[in-house]
Amino acid sequence: MGIYIMKTGILSNFKGDLLGGITAGVIALPLAIALGVSSGLGATAGIYGSIIVGMLASIFGGTPTQISGPTGPLTVVIASVVALHSDNPNLIFAAILLSGIFQIILGIFKVGKLVNFIPYPVISGFMSGIGAIIILLQINSFLGIDFAGTPVEGLINALKFLPASDFHSVLLGIITLVIVFFTPKKFAQIVPPPLTALILGTLIAVVFNFDVKTIGEIPRTFPQFIFPLFKLSEIETVIPIALTLAVVGSIDSLLTALVADSLTKTKHQSNRELIGQGIGNIVASLFGGVVSCGAMMRTAVNIKSGGRTRLSGIIHSVFLIFVIVFFAPVAAKIPLAVLAGILIKVGAGIIDYKFIRLIKAAPRNDLLVMLLVFLITIFDDLILAVGVGIVLSSILFAANVARQTDIKVVGLSDLAKENYIDEDLKNHTMIMHIDGTLFFGSASQIASRIDDVLDNKTVIIDCSNIKSMDISAVFALEDLVLTLKGQNVKVIIVFNNRDVAASTLKLGLRKLISFRDIAFSTQEAISSVQK
């Protein structure tokens, strides 16, 4: 470790990194415990995930200031898996291990930069849905009611057993909410509100001897190495879970990296970040740690507290190790209602209020995508929600671009004044102007205009204003030429330049036309009508 630090020169900002790492660790502690418990794997798994992934992602990742650990989106995914396979921990940790491998593969194949192409309404609906899920899942713990199930089932269960709520749990939950939501900013800059709520809530429960559910014993020893084996017959179960964790964790990490870039005015390495996260999750799975990724709030706190290099993430993990070794017995007495209050604040912070405030003014298509992703996230599946959102956004975008493609058909007699062109030929020559982006979404417009130009001796197809053209457009253009040639109509195509003409001919038009039927301006095409 010492050699690594000297080689990378990360001691250049030691004071800022020390403060940033410790502050991030203080905030990470209650969140790691809360999210670990919420995941169904326990507080220890949450802390181990923070320590292992936090350290390894800092060393090997592509965002020096990023702090990694359990996050809301990943916790929601893993909690649903634990609920279904609580009797098979090997399967759960095998999925975490494979998710790390998938993240490394994504990094190697340079998929990281694709996060920039995810439409904002998809991200907004996904994050707001995650926030809502976290809140719904904490209602029962907040009320002191035992429950394990889906978010919607949790809400129904809470309403059903509301009269059976535990008074002390509700009291601790309310105190926690007041602290995390209403602590003055000046005080919050000194002591993070989640830590204040954790300490005060635990003290009240212990001093007044409240009979409430707590975290329970946290081992003070370091975790043992266990390779999570699973049956070959379970591969169909493990792979989808691992892919879901990899995709959600990668998106969450890269979005956090973008936030870090905006705060530090630097540029992260997205593919290296995925590799670093993958390494961290692989090792975490071998020691019972919950799946983790870049955490937005902890990263922002680290940066604002002075963290600028990888050392801050390493210090954050060392701080958590110190807590496990010396304060595990105290952490075991933390009430679940207090953690529920902290997580409700986390969930509320994830919801995208920026988009919600603009709902009335937002474009209808964007609003549709956002609401659909939001609802699918809550009621069905996280990856399905993102997939549906991206596909729907792509279709709506394609439809919008297709509407902007303009095809006009005009007669040569209306444009040309050249006397050298035979009058009869001039009256039987049409020019088809294609303007915009010609692709699979707009290619059908060509076929719809064939009848407008069919009964002529010559047709000039003006492609000089086409901004881009895909294979579907080339095939549509080929069908048009083929139809016209079948009616003995002479075809002249106008291109921007020779490179565009050559590449288009290679895709199939070469069989139908030659360079003699190609012009590089409308005037040149008109001049060659009689040739």
Strand intervals (E) in 454-500: 458-469, 490-494
**Token couple for 435:** 């303007």
Residue 75, classed as helix, strand or coil, is helix
Q: What is the pLDDT of residues 341-362, one digit of tens each?
A: 888 887 887 788 888 888 888 8
Q: For residue 117, with 0-12 CB atoms within 10 Å meaning exposed, 13-18 middle and 19 or more buried, which class applies?
A: exposed
Q: What is the pLDDT of residues 507-519, one digit of tens each?
A: 777 777 777 788 8
Task: Give the DSSP H/E element, type plus range, for residue 434.
Answer: strand 429-438
pLDDT score of 6: 46
Rounded distance, CA 316 to CA 301, Å? Answer: 12
pTM: 0.72
Give the DSSP letter string of 338-390.
HHHHHHHHHHHHHS-HHHHHTTTTS-HHHHHHHHHHHHHHHHS-HHHHHHHHH
Question: What would you report as the CA-atom Rg of the chain, rounded to the nearest whole angstrom?
Answer: 31
Q: pLDDT means per 10 residues in the chain (531 residues)? A: 50 81 82 86 91 96 95 86 88 95 95 80 83 86 83 87 91 94 86 84 93 79 84 88 92 84 86 96 96 87 84 94 84 85 82 84 89 88 80 88 84 64 73 84 82 84 84 86 87 84 76 80 78 62
pLDDT score of 415: 64
Residues contacting residue 184 through CB under 8 Å, at least 6 positions apart: none
Q: Which residue has the tokens 């035979």?
A: 422
pLDDT score of 4: 47
Residue 130, classed as helix, strand or coil, is helix
Domains of the chain, with CATH numbers? 2-394 (no CATH), 405-527 (3.30.750.24)
Rounded distance, CA 44 to CA 37, Å? Answer: 8
